[in-house]
Structure 1
Amino acid sequence: MQNVTVATCSLDQWALDFDGNLERTKRSIELAKQKGATYRVGPELELSGYGCEDHFHEIDTFQHSAEALADILKSGLTDGILCDIGLPMLHNSVPYNCRAMCLNGKVVCIRPKLFLADDGNYREPRWFTRWERLGEAEDHYLSPALAAATGQQSCLFGDCSIQTLDTRVASETCEELFTPNSPHIHLGLSGVEILGNGSGSHFELRKLDKRIDLIRSATEKSGGVYLYANQLGCDGGRMLYDGCALIAVNGNIVAQGSQFSLADVEVITAVIDLEEIRAYRIAKASRGVQASRTRPIPVVHANFRLVDAKSCDPVSAPLSVRYHLPEEQIAYGPAVWLWDYARRTGASGFFLPLSGGADSSSTAAIVGAMCQMVAKAALNGDERVIADARRMAGQGPDYLPTDPREFANCIMHTAYLGTENSSQGTENFAKGLAEAIGNYHLTVKIDGVVSAILTLFRAVFGGREPRFKVHGGSFSENQALQNIQARSRMLLSYLFGQLLPWVRGNSGFLLVLGSGNVDEGLRGYLTKYDCSSADLNPIGGISKVDLKRFLWWAAKPETEGGLGFGILQAISEAPPTAELEPITDAYTQTDEADMGMTYQELSTFGRLRKISRCGPVSMFKRLLTQWDHLEPAEVASKVKHFFRSYAMNRHKMSTITPSVHCESYGCDDNRFDLRPIFIDARFPFQFRMIDRICAAQSSPKL
């Protein structure tokens, strides 16, 4: 047997946090060595943080990253372990996203990224250059900091691998796993047996399945070991990195880290037998033919053995992969994102205007899930989580946040900001949910604020007073009266968020939370600068359909895998309503009636528009077959209404509250959805085409 212990990790890195990133990287190497590993892989750009964005245009970012790597090499941590470390580097004054392969205080080689991510949330070519010369490498002269630390002048830089005394090792980086012709194919055929992938892969609902399928496939066809490292938590932007480090051998997952964790360093290891890899490859005759004619890549020779001849540890066996339900992902993904934001901004907690509806209740439940995660981490003795919780709650050194409801009462503040148009039912829902989670909760009537604004209006315009439509008012009057209530709630939310810590004898400030879902943002069904305007929005990337399922799940007792907030079931069953208009015997305001479409239809529109990249005509053609229960004219009317609403409200997305990215049809134009702010809402050419197709359709369906 040729047993090797390998290690990979998930690190909660933060953009430009060179001290913190260095400390966490060093700690992961120490833990890997304690577990007997002779090869360790870290996340993409771990020393600088992945999300530095235009800070990668600054020479300081490259210099500080090199200085951090020099610190690691001088520390002795790389003695006896081959370390694959991610950082930005300059080569011939060109910026590259690199992997530095380090051993015994030396830089063995540097491998730049071959294929850069340039879609969705990613703009890597804005900051880095891809290495175009596949299968080639050249000398790289080390920076002064690295030269002083290593005593080296240069090392190999490019598409290369490392030949140790017993195996061959190489790297690929994040996006390269997802490309059609991934580097691991050529590397495996050229003799590489152990492959590391340092990644900065973001969380998205139901995405882990795809990632694991690709990692399995990377070793199933050609054999070998694949180690996947990932960022963890929020590094300063809208994305959440969900960790879940993985190790695969010959198509089987043999080690898996946690997907959502409050820990800032998690290291997993596996014991692999190199002879199993070779036997697997020998049995694949077609692989042998392809390998025999594969063009070799440059090799760096290292006088080092990965195999531990004294090891008696058993080889790691295949395991069943753990997947979280989508409802669990909604609970724990945004919860980790909120936790990182709160602790790194120095906030004393959160404030949420809790209406008692499905959306704000979902936001509150996610904070409740976060409090449960903090309590579990505290019970497990996580000193960093305990220290952060003590500071946030304004508690002394003896406080242990092991009771989630008690901790929620310290850091989560909610208020039901009702008017004369609010119902007793939603007020009861808000109060009941706050009690279930443990929030510090207020019930506040804001009619006086609304009345004061209308008094000012009457004074300015000679006593004229707008009326709701149920009282004979125009559309403009009706909208203005609704918006006064909505925007007053935003102003009060920020007032309470700033002063509630002072009122309660604590210091600091609260982060104001919003609660508009991705479908409402897409449709523009929100008031600009109303209570959807906040510091952060944990559900802004989640569809209403998924939120409904989440509420049902979260209502289950903890013993059945839920969050134990039973009142959420009744909240999820209530018809969604803004409660901004008077309720009469003949009229009750509901969201779906206001929007002119159901949330299920809106979710379908969103997926076709973003994921399938449909304009009005192609969307109409697709829906003609998908919605065959409707007449073509009715499908046309719904498509036109969606695009008109989307275009007229597109400007709202320029000021949308930052939200954790959760859906591949997100509408945040600041990062993910780069479409114009001003669009002709008439779509005259496109709508004429739809009308022609309608006219050509057959008679009504039987």
Structure 2
Amino acid sequence: MNLIKVAAGVVNQTPLAWEGNKRNIIGCIEEAKSQDISILCLPELCITGYGCEDMFYASGTCETALEILQDIVEVTSGIIVSVGLPIRINNRVYNAACLIANKQIRGFACKKNLANNGLHYETRWFQPWPDNQRTELTIGEFSYPVGDLIFEAGGVKIGFEICEDAWIANRPGRSLYLQGVDIILNPTASHFAFFKTQTRERLVQDGSRAFGVAYIYANLLGNEAGRAIFDGDAMVAQAGEMLVSGTRFSYRDFYLTPAVIDIDKVRLEQVQNRLTFSGTSQKVPFLYDFPPIKPIKQRFELEHWEAKGFQKEEEFARAIALALFDYLRKSRSSGWVISLSGGADSSAITGLCYLAIELGVAELGLEGFKQKLGHIKKIQDCQSVQELSKALITNIYQGTENSSNDTRYSASSLAESLNTTFYDININGLVETYKDLIQGAIGRNLSWETDDLALQNIQARVRAPSAWLLANINNALLLATSNRSEAAVGYATMDGDTSGSISPIAGIDKHFLRHWLRWLEHTGLDGQLKLSGLNAMNNLQPTAELRPLEAKQIDEEDLMPYDLLNAIETAAFRDKKSPKDCLELMELEFEGIYSKEKLVMSIDRFFRLWSRNQWKRERYAPSFHVDDRNLDPRSWLRFPILSGGFEKELADMHEYANDSKGKQRRSRIGF
């Protein structure tokens, strides 16, 4: 048998962190050598980091990447490694994968199809490499082939699909297959989204089957640059069979997903197919002796937590927890501060910070966790998760005369159960001071009858300075507590609950968030890690508590039911449906649940609030990306700050609704 031991290598990188990125890459290579790996695939742009943005334009970025590449070359004796980096040729920048073998650069394969939607803006910085084109890149005294290349190591042919290359209909793998390639390497930077791993698995498995190859897929890991989260998905398939897949959402700097592939088996798959041979890519042959390998039993399995029927709940918890940990670590901050109101949003964020500690310690061990946060001196003597929670998580409850005992208890009971640092202060005096100042200036008293919105907002805004002060005192991150449902309709106070350096749940709708919190209390991660301290909060109705208590303010009465809001938002701005189309869809989805009048009123309200609140979405703190419903205008969904407000479209909806009601009345009286 012709067996080769290969691996996908996952690394947690940071844009332009040259020494740290190099250390992770070299550590991964050394680990591969210790496991007798012959071919190692590392992720896309792993030398520079994927999220360098306009720094890809800087000549120094490409030049430094080549310097780091030469350092990496020196540790590749006895192994074939692909590493990703940008290269500059004729004053154009290309996204490339460099193949190294036995301390020699063999050439650079370049990405042909660039991602240019949502989070991705690759056509801003890179040129797509044209089919069948080759050139050379000079590094020092030597020149190396670049472009549409196939590498041949000891008679084994290796080709590349780089990330987006595999996601298009006419993917390069077909051309590689027609040229008899045995192995396809896919170095990738594929951002996390709910359930996206299943799509990747199909791309890898179907690619290995359709092209009759062994397919090695390696993704980045962690919160690399602020918004995108990479889950570290890695897998190896051959001839339509998924051999192995790796751990996702790890807290490690790097790790391997190894497998043994059978070159005879993939060649048998190809020889039984009768498609015509096509030779278009330049072949780069070099000598390499693959060591003899014995067959091993390999079985592809889901991770234990993926097989329990709660994948979205688990992915949300694990992705955001890892992102919060990485953001803390890479920003060299000393903890998190959350203005804990006792409601769902701030409780969820507090819980996610606690999960970051629990999951990190579970994987790294207590000492490993403290070592990764070595810049935080106050945690170095901590001896438990509870002590770490006390040192890293600060909650502040800021009540007014409109705050209830229920929300105070909800906040304090959660903080106590998680052992966070908890402060309970009353800001009513501050609110009254601001009111008195303005009342004196304008010559009249403020009242709920005439100044409802202003009196609500001042309470939310007065809470921000205290939270910022605590964050500054502790050199900590202040976490904004707005969710996606609030962002859609502007149901948030600018410089109040939107205050913060990162907004962890701004990509999550309130309907799912409330479900997730109940799941976290009763079921928990992997059926074991539960937060019982959420009980009091889970039994409350969502309320801003900004009006007098006797008003019994409830968020869903101020806005609309959250399940309906989420459905309208999805139809209107993910799927780009008109108000009339939204009404037809909502009538179908909520038949027997909400009246037609309720649907019409809610859709009208949603579109009007959306249009007048784009300026708020432009100012929100950066959010973590979790799916294609993201509303962040800087990375996903753009909308004009000033617009016509859908006046014509809403008029069309009302005309349709009224006409439909007239037809129904006429049918009931026999016309």
Q: Same fold (TM over 0.5)?
A: yes
Q: Is the 8 A contact 1:197 1:229 kept in 2?
A: yes
TM-score, normalisation: structure 1: 0.90
Please state if 1:524 is matched with 2:509.
no
Secondary structure, counterpart of 2:69 in structure 1: helix
Secondary structure, counterpart of 1:140 in structure 2: strand
Please state if 1:600 is matched with 2:583.
no
Query: What's 1:333 paired with?
Result: 319
Q: 1:390 to 1:321 in 2, by over 3 A?
A: closer
Question: 1:605-616, aligned counterparts within 5 Å?
Answer: 605-616=568-579
Q: 1:189 to 1:619 in 2, by over 3 A?
A: farther
2:547 to 581, 587, 595: 581
2:122 to 112, 115, 124: 124
- Report Cα offsets for 1:54-103 as digits up to 9, x if no partner: 11111111111111101112x2x222211111000011221101111111
Query: What's 1:505 paired with?
Result: none
1:483 to 454, 457, 480: 457
Secondary structure, counterpart of 1:415 in structure 2: strand
Secondary structure, counterpart of 2:99 in structure 1: strand
Secondary structure, counterpart of 1:579 in structure 2: coil
Please state if 1:510 is matched with 2:476.
yes
* Counterpart AA for 2:86: P
* Counterpart AA for 1:142: T
Query: What's 2:447 paired with?
Result: 467
Question: 1:88-237, aligned counterparts within 5 Å?
Answer: 88-132=86-130, 134=131, 136-144=132-140, 147=141, 152=142, 154-237=143-226
Q: Is the 8 A contact 2:439 2:446 kept in 1?
A: no
* Counterpart AA for 2:614: R
Please state if 1:687 is matched with 2:650.
yes
* Counterpart AA for 2:12: D
Tell me how far 1:414 sits from its aligned partner.
0.2
Q: 1:408 to 1:12 in 2, by over 3 A?
A: same
Percent identity (aligned):
28
Please state if 1:299 is matched with 2:279.
no
Please state if 1:622 is matched with 2:602.
no
User: What number of residue pairs does the alignment pair up?
Assistant: 660
Query: What's 1:367 paired with?
Result: 353
Tell me how far 1:128 sits from its aligned partner.
0.5
Query: What's 2:245 paired with?
Result: 256
Query: What's 2:527 paired with?
Result: 561
Tell me how far 1:537 sits from its aligned partner.
1.6
For the residues of structure 2 that align with 1:606 and 1:425, how far apart are their CA atoms?
31
For structure 2, the 5+ residue unaligned runs are none
Please state if 1:15 is matched with 2:15.
yes
Q: Is the 8 A contact 1:37 1:81 kept in 2?
A: yes
Question: 1:53-72, aligned counterparts within 5 Å?
Answer: 53-72=53-72
For the residues of structure 1 that align with 2:529 and 2:300, how far apart are their CA atoms?
31
Q: Is the 8 A contact 2:252 2:364 kept in 1?
A: no
Q: Is the 8 A contact 1:653 1:669 kept in 2?
A: yes
Query: What's 1:458 paired with?
Result: 439
Tell me how far 1:634 sits from its aligned partner.
4.7
Q: Is the 8 A contact 2:314 2:525 kept in 1?
A: no
Secondary structure, counterpart of 1:521 in structure 2: helix
- Report Cα offsets for 1:260-279 as digits up to 9, x if no partner: 11111111211111122223
Secondary structure, counterpart of 1:529 in structure 2: coil
Tell me how far 1:296 sits from its aligned partner.
3.9
Tell me how far 1:688 sits from its aligned partner.
2.8
Secondary structure, counterpart of 1:223 in structure 2: coil
For the residues of structure 2 that align with 1:620 and 1:430, how far apart are their CA atoms?
38
For the residues of structure 1 that align with 2:346 and 2:628, how far apart are their CA atoms?
22
Q: 1:322 to 1:176 in 2, by over 3 A?
A: farther
Tell me how far 1:139 sits from its aligned partner.
2.7
Secondary structure, counterpart of 1:567 in structure 2: helix
Tell me how far 1:696 sits from its aligned partner.
4.2
1:349 to 328, 335, 338: 335
Q: 1:370 to 1:100 in 2, by over 3 A?
A: same
Secondary structure, counterpart of 2:454 in structure 1: helix
TM-score, normalisation: structure 2: 0.94
Query: What's 1:506 paired with?
Result: none
Please state if 1:411 is matched with 2:374.
no
Query: What's 1:392 paired with?
Result: 376
Q: Is the 8 A contact 2:520 2:530 kept in 1?
A: yes
Q: Which moved more, 1:627-636 or 1:659-668?
A: 627-636
- Report Cα offsets for 1:493-536 as digits up to 9, x if no partner: 1012112x3xxxxxxx1110111111111111111111222111
For the residues of structure 2 that align with 1:141 and 1:160, how far apart are their CA atoms?
13
For the residues of structure 1 that align with 2:617 and 2:498, how far apart are their CA atoms?
12
Q: 1:16 to 1:165 in 2, by over 3 A?
A: same
Secondary structure, counterpart of 2:198 in structure 1: helix
Secondary structure, counterpart of 1:109 in structure 2: strand
* Counterpart AA for 1:127: W
Tell me how far 1:106 sits from its aligned partner.
2.1
* Counterpart AA for 1:139: T
Q: Is the 8 A contact 1:273 1:315 kept in 2?
A: no
Q: 1:393 to 1:377 in 2, by over 3 A?
A: farther
- Report Cα offsets for 1:79-132 as digits up to 9, x if no partner: 221111100001122110111111122221211110000001110000001012
Tell me how far 1:321 sits from its aligned partner.
5.8
- Report Cα offsets for 1:225-255 as digits up to 9, x if no partner: 1111111111222111111211112223222
Q: Is the 8 A contact 1:197 1:227 kept in 2?
A: yes
